Structure 1
Amino acid sequence: MKNLEIIGLDESKVNKVKDALAQLLADYQIYYTNLRNLHWNVKGHKFFTMHSKYEELYNEAAAHVDEIAERILQLGAHPESRYSEYLKVATIKEIDGVVGGRESIELLLEYFKNLIAQERTLIDLAGDAHDDVTADLMTGYLASQEKNVWMLLAYAQHKHHDDSCCCETK
């Protein structure tokens, strides 16, 4: 007996969920790596604030990577584990060099915009497949990410005389 039969999900309806999870996994892996880059290379006035925030974000991303891969397995597929394959399909691209200041905040907001859109799509796909567990997993991610977006936007509201004031990494 297959796992999907036991948990009561229709394989034909779950295939789109598996494909979307595979895409999300690729993007989370690149997002995670980019966060490590930012964390390792941050410099300047806001070093302590941003160094800690990047660490918080990459730890959360690492947990999500594991949960997404395990959900793919629970749905009867095998998660990709090669960065070379992630790079071929990821919509989040590797950082080429180090970004800093407002650019890093804007980059984080773009990452969240991308991930949130994928997760909302996954909630819809999971709903169509009666896959409440995947939908619930994505809803949890959204709650955290929406809070992070709000906090980053509030942080970026600080009036700067120049870009070097905010989390410089150059």
Structure 2
Amino acid sequence: MKLNAIGLPAAQSKELAEDLNFLLANFQTYYQNLRGIHWNIRGRSFFDLHAKFEELYDDANLKVDMIAERVLTLGETPLHTFADYTRVSKVPVGQDVSKDEEAIRLIVDSLKELLLIERKILSTSDTVGDEGTNAMMSDFITEQEKTVWMMKAWLAEQV
């Protein structure tokens, strides 16, 4: 079995990098959604949500960088064009979202897609023994599950 520079099976690392690139594309869509709702939110919740959306997009921006750097660590090239992102992303695109409830639902729907992808990556990285990817996915999942809970609480809905 051929190993890559960090001691992981090369073929499985390439597959993981492909999955991480898929996550990267979806995170970029999520990030753009957050920027859009941050800019366009209107109404009585403006001040609270404007600040919250900025917090979320700052966090998403950091995660985008972490994902891309993990792809590089695995020996592959991260996706980096909007054409690539839009071609493969499954996260819903929010266009002209300015109402608070619609914005929160967009976040919940986006995170649901991200969590599905991250759980798949977590399973694969665990099988291969890729602790670096494993730890990153575990951290992302924990944070995003909490965000979903908070957003559902704002919507007065059960998780």
TM-score (norm 1): 0.87
CA distance in 2, matches of 1:6, 1:93: 36
Aligned-residue offset at 1:153: 1.2
1:137-160 deviations in Å (ceiling 9; x for gaps): 0101111111111111111119xx
RMSD: 1.6
Q: Return structure 1 stretches of 4+ with deviation > 6 angstroms.
A: none
1:1-170 to 2 correspondences below 5 Å: 5-157=4-156
CA distance in 2, matches of 1:15, 1:73: 10
**8 A Cα contact 1:126 1:132, kept in partner:** yes
Structure of greater Rg: 1
Contiguous gaps of at least 5 residues in structure 1: 159-170
Contiguous gaps of at least 5 residues in structure 2: none
**8 A Cα contact 2:40 2:96, kept in partner:** no
CA distance in 1, matches of 2:156, 2:149: 11
**Aligned partner of residue 7 in structure 1, secondary structure:** coil
Residue equivalent to 1:161: none
CA distance in 2, matches of 1:93, 1:111: 6
- Higher deviation after alignment, 98-107 or 119-128: 98-107
CA distance in 1, matches of 2:135, 2:16: 13
TM-score (norm 2): 0.92
Quick one: percent identity of the two aligned structures? 37
CA distance in 2, matches of 1:24, 1:136: 15
**Aligned partner of residue 91 in structure 1, secondary structure:** coil
The number of equivalent residue pairs is 156
Residue equivalent to 1:167: none
